Amino acid sequence: MAKVGYIFLAEAYESIGSDKAWMEKYGCVKIVEERTEDEKLRPEWKALLMSLERGDELVLSKFSNALRGTRELSYFLELCRIKVIRIISIHDKVDSKDEVFPALKTSDFLDVIGSLPAEVATLRKASNHIMRLRNVKTKTKSTKSRQERETTIVNMYNGGHAIDDIWAVSGFKSRSSIFRILKKYGITLNRGPHSGPIKKWSERKNPIIKDDKQ
Q: 151-185 pLDDT, tens per residue?
A: 888 888 888 888 888 888 888 888 888 889 888 88
pLDDT digits (tens, 9 = 90+) for 42-94: 899 999 999 999 999 999 999 999 998 889 999 999 999 999 999 999 999 99
| pLDDT of amino acid 143 | 62
Confidence (pLDDT) at 209? 45
Residue 118, in any domain of the structure: yes
Q: Does residue 101 share a domain with residue 19?
A: yes
Tell me the residue length of the chain: 214
Residue 79 to residue 153: CA distance in whole angstroms: 64
Domain boundary among the residues 71, 102, 126 is at: 126
Give strand pairing partners of 87: 58
Domain that holds residue 167: 160-205
Contact present, 6 and 45 (Cβ < 8 Å): yes
What is this structure's pTM?
Answer: 0.59
Please indicate, yes or no, if residue 174 is contained in any of the structural domains: yes
Number of domains in the chain: 2
Note the maximum CA span of the chain.
Answer: 107
Same domain, 79 and 170: no
List, in order, residues 6 or more apart from 23 with CB less than 8 Å away.
5, 7, 31, 59, 90
pLDDT band per the 50, 70, 90 thresholds, residue 210: very low
154 located within any domain: no
CB 78 within 8 A of CB 58: no
Q: What is residue 70's three-state secondary structure?
A: helix
Does residue 51 lie in a domain region?
yes
Q: Looking at the domain assignment, is residue 178 inside a domain?
A: yes
Q: How far apart are CA 132 and CA 203, in angstroms?
A: 45
In tens, the pLDDT along 94-107 reads 999 999 998 888 89
Whether 12 is covered by a domain: the verdict is yes
Average pLDDT, integer, range 112-133: 77
Q: Is residue 151 part of a domain?
A: no
Whole-number pLDDT of residue 20: 95
Residue 136 in domain:
no
